[in-house]
Amino acid sequence: MTIKNIATGEKTTLTLIDPASGQNWVNDFIGNNNAKLNWEENEDKKGNKIWLLSGDEYDFWTDIIDRQQSNDDNIATLSAKDREDFYTWLIEEATGGNDLDDCLCEVTEKLKGYNRNVFKNTGVS
């Protein structure tokens, strides 16, 4: 997904890779979170739409995607038992809210509770 900061003209490509499948699911992630984005009539070199974001939206989505990717990568490193426990917690505890930023913070904090050695050099401490 190519996004453009309409305030600065800066463009970047957002990707969110599922560690298990290798699939880029950034469009689904953003759509599932009800983002209302506009696009340029022009397309990027691959023929994809260029999504236009205000400076604040651009900063928000680039940060959110980076944090989600980090969480996804960290979850993928958990043992099968820890991953099962984590998803049980997620279903029971984290689904009560709908603020994307708050949910990411909760997930990140929960991941910190698992074996800290798993997350060395990942930014989770």
**pLDDT for residue 41:** 66
**pLDDT for residue 8:** 93
Three-state DSSP at 98 gives: coil
**pLDDT for residue 87:** 78
**14, 61 contact by CB (below 8 A):** yes
Q: Give the span between the Cα atoms of 24 and 16, in whole angstroms.
A: 5
pLDDT along the chain (125 residues), means of 10: 89 91 90 73 75 88 91 86 80 62 72 58 44
**pLDDT for residue 99:** 64
**pLDDT for residue 124:** 45
Amino acid at site 11:
K
Q: Give the span between the Cα atoms of 119 and 125, in whole angstroms.
A: 7
Can you list the alpha helix ranges (DSSP code H) found in the chain?
26-32, 55-76, 80-93, 100-112
Look up residue 114 and give its DSSP letter: S
**pLDDT for residue 98:** 59
Which two structure tokens, joined as six digits, stand for 79? 């043992």
**pLDDT for residue 17:** 96
